[in-house]
Structure 1
């Protein structure tokens, strides 16, 4: 287990977080309907951050994951505000910070108790997505100027959450396993 990771790696992971947050906050402006339920395209983008955070905790440490979240926090707000607006930037930063810190904590606690690799990313992703999604939508759209989102943010958040969880289980959990296997072999880390 590594206690520290190279500063270049920290910066690259933080830049990845910032990029995904910016893309997700741009995509949240575009809604669509599936079987009568409204959702945003951001639901396909944001779970990548949870995947990256969980791999950072597993292959390095929760302290390094927190440093990365701290580095990405302010730039993510500024870029999101520039791409969308200040309210979305603030909502995004708040949701990102709270959701990722919860993800890191849940991941580590489950990891310490689990006998297999999959419970930690599954449970931490589930809880982090709940907190992140409802925090973001409440701060961004509760009584906002966007009449549609102000009236429908709970529905849109709930549908997004449902899709995020399905996408995370169907796509990102297997991707996590593949990346864990690849990175674990590459770095020769013990990863229970």
Structure 2
């Protein structure tokens, strides 16, 4: 399939870039990786639109394999507080990516016959929410310390005001909320390239019909 290779390359690029950029802070609550990772949903949705759910799942699986490789490399690099990628973070990352992306594929496929914006927006929002909850809870929540007892996540469970302003919550909850808000904003912005690319693929009749 001609589309599959460039789609896998695009997904691999997003995954690798996000794994590198997540090591660099952006403000108090985010990393630069928060701005690149949501592009994975755009890649998945475009493949789903053009080639169907089966092809989209193949691209997701390829992205998962690349993510596992990135986690392995990160686990071999020593940072200031230990390996750049701990076992717990690696498990959380892989679980969140695979679950959220497959859910995105399923939701998009179910809604593909509706208005042009509904399938990409709803699928990305649902997938992003699941991705955020799974990653941050598995990686940092204190009750899940059994996942990787060796990794100390006490820093992530320090109780602070939510995003510096709200009620007292563990730090990881603020990190998760900030991450999800970025995903929400980018899901909306991604409708612009999605609409344009989809119009190029499906022709002027698709544009005229508002689909």
Length-normalised TM-score, structure 2:
0.74
SS at match of 2:152: coil
Deviation at 1:137, TM superposition (A): 1.7
Is the 8 Å Cα contact of residues 78 and 89 (structure 1) preserved in structure 2?
A: no
Q: Supply the RMSD in Å over aligned alpha carbons.
A: 2.4
Over 3 Å counting, the alpha-carbon distance change for 1:22 and 1:141 in structure 2 is farther
CA contact (8 A) 2:45 2:120 kept: yes
Residue of 132, 148, 157 corresponding to 2:176: 157
Hey, what's the Cα distance between the residues in 2 that align with 1:39 and 1:153?
11
- Is the Cα contact below 8 Å between 2:15 and 2:67 reproduced in 1? yes
Gaps of 5+ in 1: 1-5
Q: Which residue of 1 aligns with 2:147?
A: none
- Whole-Å separation in 2 of the counterparts to 1:26 and 1:118: 31
Alignment equivalent of 1:25, drawn from 19, 25, 28: 19
The alpha-carbon deviation at position 43 of structure 1 amounts to 1.8
Give the alignment partner of residue 44 of structure 1, picking from 35, 39, 54: 35
Partner in structure 2 of residue 145 of structure 1 = 152
Describe how 1:4-153 pairs up with structure 2 within 5 A: 6=1, 9-33=3-27, 38-83=29-74, 84-87=84-87, 88-112=89-113, 114=114, 116-143=115-142, 144-145=151-152, 147-151=154-158, 152-153=171-172
Counterpart residue number, 2:164: none
How many residue pairs were aligned?
177
Structure of greater relative contact order (alpha carbons < 8 Å, 6+ residues apart): 1
Q: Secondary structure at the match of 1:117?
A: coil
Q: Which runs of 4+ in 1 moved over 4 A?
A: none
Deviation of 1:131 (Å):
0.6
What is the CA distance between 1:150 and its match in structure 2? 4.3
